[in-house]
Amino acid sequence: MAGLLSGLGDLGLGNLEDMNLFEEAESEKKAAEEVAPKVPVVQETDFLYDKTYECPVCGKEFKNKTVKVGKAKLSGTDMDLRPKYEQIDLLKYDVIMCPHCGYAALSRYFKFITETQGKMVKKTISERFKPKNLNKDIYEYEDALERYKMALANAIVKQAKPSEKAYICLKTAWLLRGKAEHLDAKAADYAQKKKECEAEENEFLKKALEGFLSARQTESFPMCGMDESTVDYLIAVMAVKFGQLEIATKLVAQILSSSTTNPRMKDRARDLKNKIIEVVKAKTGKK
């Protein structure tokens, strides 16, 4: 039986008469796939680099995982202003910790420690601190949570301002929320682990609320890099969560009536006001 291309010999192309039609097509397809550019897969390590720090307590140098400036893209924020980024949780990398003496703090506070505070840290933490190898490409949530707790312990020991301790508690709560969101939903203990994360998050939020309320009475603004309206809004959100509606209502009213509050924050305050109304209605049974 003659091939599909028989007769081409008459045109001087007899060498092509026996070509396999579909095998050739497949080879061309594979060649095209090899030439086509591959879309790179973004890894968490792509956002990080090792930055060298000098510890203000012990004076030794060390490297700390740090996020590249402008690399991560913000995807949104929760009602309590927790920032969410695409492909990485930046909160995991906001604590700087010296592996030599155990001094740890949020990045905005790391350099700012007095000689007296340094002595407190050395006596209470450094003398007992056992260095732990954290030579990892990324920090898992458990690693990050440990670092936040070290930052809080240091803040307590050095007698930091209520605002600093409150801010650590707030960011720890945010971290726990992120951890809960990244749990394996198919795992047998998923429900239990999620419940534990939520319970621990609430404990840190309660302490954050307590700390910010105290700081608002004793400290000046800006506070933790935030203006008065932002701090009041945060307090109001947490107050609503824990049923302290009187505090929340008062602060929201102040935010909305302030001439210095930016429009975006006023929009958030209006949303919170509507939520307070819904909560009150639910409690009283009114429609």
DSSP output for 173-201: HHHHHHHHHTS-TTSTTHHHHHHHHHHHH
Say if residue 135 is exposed, middle or buried (CB neighbours under 10 Å; 0-12, 13-18, 19+): exposed
Task: Classify the C-alpha dihedral 191-196-201-206 as positive or negative.
Answer: positive
The answer on 217 and 247 residing in a single domain is no
| Residue 119 structural domain | 44-226
- Pair (250, 119) in one structural domain: no
Q: What are phi and psi of 224, to 5 degrees?
A: 55, 30
Residue with the larger pLDDT of the pair 172 and 22: 172
Domain annotation covers residue 2: no
> Looking at 193, 226, 259, which one is the last position of a domain?
226
User: In this model, does residue 24 exceed pLDDT 60?
Assistant: no
Domains: count for the chain = 2
Q: pLDDT, tens digit, for every residue of 76-103?
A: 999 999 999 999 999 999 999 999 999 9
Quick one: tokens of 231? Answer: 């701090």
With cut-offs at 50, 70 and 90, classify the pLDDT of residue 131.
confident
Report whether pLDDT(140) > 60: yes
Asked if the structure places residue 241 within a domain, the reply is: yes
Helix (H, G, I), strand (E, B) or coil at 114: coil
Residues 81 and 122 reside in one and the same domain: yes
Assess whether pLDDT exceeds 90 at residue 117.
yes
| pLDDT tens for each residue of 28-42 | 666 666 665 666 788
Please tell me the predicted confidence (pLDDT) of residue 48.
Answer: 96
pLDDT digits (tens, 9 = 90+) for 277-287: 999 998 887 66
Shared-domain flag, residues 75 and 212: yes
Q: Which residue did the predictor score with more confidence, 131 or 254?
A: 254
| Cα 175–Cα 82–Cα 142 angle in degrees, nearest 5 | 5
Q: What share of the chain is helix, strand, coil (3-state, %, to 5)?
A: 55, 10, 35
pTM summary value: 0.85
Confidence class for position 144, pLDDT limits 50, 70, 90: very high
Of 204, 226, 248, the last residue of a domain is 226
Of 177, 202, 226, the domain-final residue: 226
Helix (H, G, I), strand (E, B) or coil at 84: strand
88 plus 211 within the same structural domain: yes
Question: Does residue 36 belong to any structural domain of this protein?
Answer: no
CA angle 170, 156, 213 (to 5 degrees): 45
Are 128 and 74 found together in one domain? yes
Condensed to tens digits (0 to 9), the pLDDT of residues 219-235 reads 999 999 999 999 999 99
Same domain flag for 65 and 199: yes
Residues pairing with 67 in the sheet: 48
